[in-house]
Every structure is written in C-alpha cells, then in structure tokens.
Amino acid sequence: MKVFILVGVFLIIAIPLFIYILKSKSNSVNNYRTYQTSTSAAPTVSSNDQNSLCIPNGGIGSPSKQLNQANDSGRKTTISEVADGLKTYYSKNGKSPASLEELLNAGLIARIPKDPVTNKVYSYIPSDPNNGCIIEANLCSGSVARGYCR
C-alpha cells in the first residue's frame, strides 16, 4: 500500500513538473539571447537570460532547484572541457581558433557545446585582448561560467 501512495505522490509532482519543463524549454529558445562574437566585452547575465535557463525554484531541496543545479554543473563541466581544448589549440598554434568548429575539426572537442536547456551553442569570443579567447555559459545562479585560451 505504501508503494502505491509513494508512486501516486511522485506522479502528482513529476507530471506537472515535466509539462512545465517542456513548456519552458520551448519558450526559452525564443527568449534566449546569444551574444555577438564580434565584441570583446564580456557580456553580463540579464534577468531574461537567467529566466529562460532556469526552472522557478520551489525552495530548498525541491526538484526544480536540484534540476537547476544539475544543469549548472553540466554547463561548468562543458565549459571546463572546452577551455582545455582551447588552451591546447592556443599552445600548438599560437592563436585562438576562429570558431568552435575549428576546435572540433582539430579533434580537441567531441562536439560543439550547447546549453542543456535551450540547446543553443555557448557564446564564443575568438579574440579577447587579455585572454586570447573566451567561451562562456550563463548559469541559473545568475553568474557566468567562463573558460579561456590562456
């Protein structure tokens, strides 16, 4: 009997959350702002960007908070992996790759990195005077995860 009650409670919570995620994902694609790669200024996270990346929080320990944290963790890991590839490319070639496709073709990354929620390619700035190049992703926490060529 307890199993049936637990399954029922899980379904009551999971189904509306799943529907909300699907609706948010389709809306977030339209709201998500991609950054221009021609500028060397580091962009900031606007509230619009953050809202399209995150599920509204239900409080400490809520499934939405845990999902947001998991997505942010994935974003940070991906940025770190791509940054390693960018550093390797930079040390071998003495310059930043012109695009992420160039990094892919060099075999330094397995795929072009995309946000787990919006499915948009992360922002890449190929020429930054201080860091060589920058790859970045907005996080649900409101901060930005960045990786550099050097």
Q: What is the CA radius of gyration of the chain?
A: 18
Element (H, E) at 1: none
pTM over 0.95: no
Per-residue pLDDT, 150: 81
Instruction: State how far the Cα of 87 lies from the Cα of 132, in Å rounded to an integer.
Output: 9
Task: State the DSSP code for 71.
Answer: H
Residue 106 identity (one-letter amino acid): A
In contact, 42 and 134? CB cutoff 8 Å: yes
Instruction: State how far the Cα of 84 lies from the Cα of 57, in Å rounded to an integer.
Output: 32
Per-residue pLDDT, 132: 85
Each residue of 83-126: pLDDT tens digit? 999 999 999 998 899 999 999 999 999 999 998 888 899 999 99
Rounded mean pLDDT of the chain?
Answer: 75
Each residue of 53-81: pLDDT tens digit? 687 766 666 788 888 888 899 999 999 99
Q: Which of the four pLDDT bands, split at 50, 70 and 90, describes residue 21?
A: low
Per-residue pLDDT, 125: 92
Sequence length of the chain is: 150
Reported for 109-115, long-range contacts at CB under 8 A and 24+ positions apart, including other chains, are: 109/81, 109/82, 109/85, 113/78, 113/79, 113/81, 113/82, 113/137, 115/32, 115/53, 115/75
Tokens of 55: 């599920």
